Structure 1
């Protein structure tokens, strides 16, 4: 309904529409069994294209999840090691100051 209203379809809507309209339809299985030659080849290309598109979507989601996990790891490392690094920097700074005099 949103796609009809706006004239634009989201990826999620497209997935649900395409898979539901064609591949989840039991009549499709019957049609597929009756296909041969060029029609069957074109259908195999469409199925492979949809599969590639869905895999790309999964890959992009996995990439985003990895970025978020890396950011969480960096925050955890920062929380754990900043006090130790500040103490070391303070010791180094006082050592430099003592040697400078």
Structure 2
């Protein structure tokens, strides 16, 4: 039995005794639009996941760079301290016993 679709003005199919409710896409137009809408939602979710992934990678990259900079600073400070200690020892050696 064919009847006018309550959603899009298309033709709805009689589905083996199942009740036809607006919550269930039952006509070809509604099925197609429902599938398109689901596909769009899926694509949006994928895009959001990709954006989150990119942001996370950026944050991780920044953290790595900061760690490298901190390590370089510590290394430089250590080298400076060693130079200062060497200079102090040289100065002590030069002064000699008084």
Q: TM-score, normalised by structure 1?
A: 0.47
- Kindly name which structure, 1 or 2, has the bigger radius of gyration based on alpha carbons: 2
More helix by share: 1
Which of structures 1 and 2 has the larger relative contact order (alpha carbons within 8 angstroms, sep 6+)? 2
Q: TM-score, normalised by structure 2?
A: 0.48
More strand by share: 2
